[in-house]
Amino acid sequence: MVESDIEVALRRSGLRVTRPRVAVLTVLGDHPHTDTDTIIRRVREVAGDVSHQAVYDVLRALTDAGLVRRIQPTGSVARYEVRVGDNHHHVVCRSCGVIADVDCAVGEAPCLDASDGHGFLIDQAEVTYWGLCPPCATDAAS
Q: What is the per-residue pLDDT across 33-90, written as a single tens digit (0 to 9) for each?
A: 999 999 999 999 999 999 999 999 999 999 999 999 999 998 899 999 999 988 789 9
**93 labelled binding-site residue:** yes
Beta-bridged to residue 34, according to DSSP, are 80
The beta strand positions in 1-142, using DSSP E, are 34-35, 69-71, 79-81, 89-93, 99-102, 128-131
With H, G, I as helix, E, B as strand and everything else as coil, classify residue 79: strand
Residue 28 reports pLDDT greater than 90: yes
Question: Mean of the pLDDT values across residues 97-111?
Answer: 82
3-71 maps to CATH 3.30.540.10: no
Could you tell me the pLDDT band of residue 1, with boundaries at 50, 70 and 90?
Answer: low
Cα–Cα distance between 93 and 39 in angstroms, integer? Answer: 21
Please tell me the predicted confidence (pLDDT) of residue 109: 66
Please tell me the predicted confidence (pLDDT) of residue 114: 80
Question: Mean of the pLDDT values across residues 102-122?
Answer: 81
**133 labelled binding-site residue:** yes
Please tell me the predicted confidence (pLDDT) of residue 91: 95
Q: What's the CATH superfamily of 86-141? A: Ferric-uptake regulator, C-terminal dimerisarion domain (3.30.1490.190)
**104 labelled binding-site residue:** no
Residue 97 reports pLDDT greater than 80: yes
Q: Which of 10, 8, 128, 14 is nearest to 68 (CA)?
A: 10
Question: Mean of the pLDDT values across residues 122-128?
Answer: 84
**136 labelled binding-site residue:** yes
Q: Where are the domains of the chain?
A: 3-71, 86-141
Please tell me the predicted confidence (pLDDT) of residue 119: 92
Could you give the percent of the chain with pLDDT greater than 70?
Answer: 95
71-103 burial, b at 16+ Cβ within 10 Å, e below that, comes to: bebeeeeebbbbeeeebbbbbbbeeebebeeee
**108 labelled binding-site residue:** yes
